[in-house]
Structure 1
Amino acid sequence: MDLRLIPFKHNVWATRAQLDICRPLTDEQFHRRFEIGCGNLHDTFVHIIGAMDRWADRISGVPLPPREENTTHRTVDDLCGMLDRATTKLEGVARRIIAENRVDEMMEFPGPEGQPPYRFHRASAMVHVTTHGMHHRAQIFNMLRQLGVKQTLDGDTVEWELFTNEY
């Protein structure tokens, strides 16, 4: 397997594993507010998956649609469906950028109003989107711990390989 694709495979596996841990939670638990990250499990998963989708567009050069405020309460199954779609899109973009040897190409997207645009390599963006997921999964781990949910999964890349045999 191409080393550059492992973070994408791991990212979706680890996110789905945490979603699966959330299946037995009540709606109240899934939406309980915490003073961390996006505030609750539901919103943190929506954020992780939404970021995967938006970064796929950024990396491929597709203009981003305006961000809509969405207060839809999604089920774990809904979120798994969103994860599948975002994964297909993001991995497709990553494979194309790698195949076209464009990882060292500079990309740009608008900065905050009145600020210059952000400029960086596509490779950095590809790494960012997967480490972004890891950062928020650590917050989810903490939220689940505060709910008293026993977790036996570290969710690291070694576990990904051992559990999936995808390598």
Structure 2
Amino acid sequence: MSRRSRLVRPFASLALAAATVAGGVAVGEAQAAPELRNYVKTIRCDSANPFPAPRVPITVDVWNQVRFPSDGLPGPAIELIASSPRPQGLLPNTGIYTMSTTVNWHNVTTGKRGVVRVPTRANRITWQAVLHPGAGQVNFRITQRIGALVFVPMVNPQVSTCRGSARA
């Protein structure tokens, strides 16, 4: 049972009790809303900083069973959502990053392979990739190319790689 279902269920019972006390007719227990995606895990994918600043800590949240993926294609899918905890740069809120993220994935159950490329520009490290591998165990390799935006994009690019897996 998901965390959200555990939180919603007591409130659904309260609604059922309130309807009964108010004289309403209840035809069974209220159902919790179905989950739109399932959290799998968080992986670390830290990178060197293209600005003269400390290394950038980056977490990538892995979600599967995504019913309505952000790319607009039909689900289910796997979503990878990366973020750094705060803006990095020479001074707070002054650094702009350009990112080019590539995710190579392999569904080891079906043998299907694919590549997703995500270009991003923001004042902190953040990107989102959606994989449509079909059902099965999926291994993926994330390659992040992160550069500073200083009059032109991708100045002093830094490359980092990490791996993960999820069941689709």
Q: Which TM bucket (shorter chain)?
A: under 0.3
**Comparing both structures, which one devotes a greater share of its residues to helix?**
1
**Comparing both structures, which one devotes a greater share of its residues to strand?**
2
**Larger radius of gyration, structure 1 or 2?**
2
TM-score (norm 1): 0.25
TM-score (norm 2): 0.25
- Does 1 or 2 have the higher relative contact order (CA < 8 Å, sep 6+)? 1
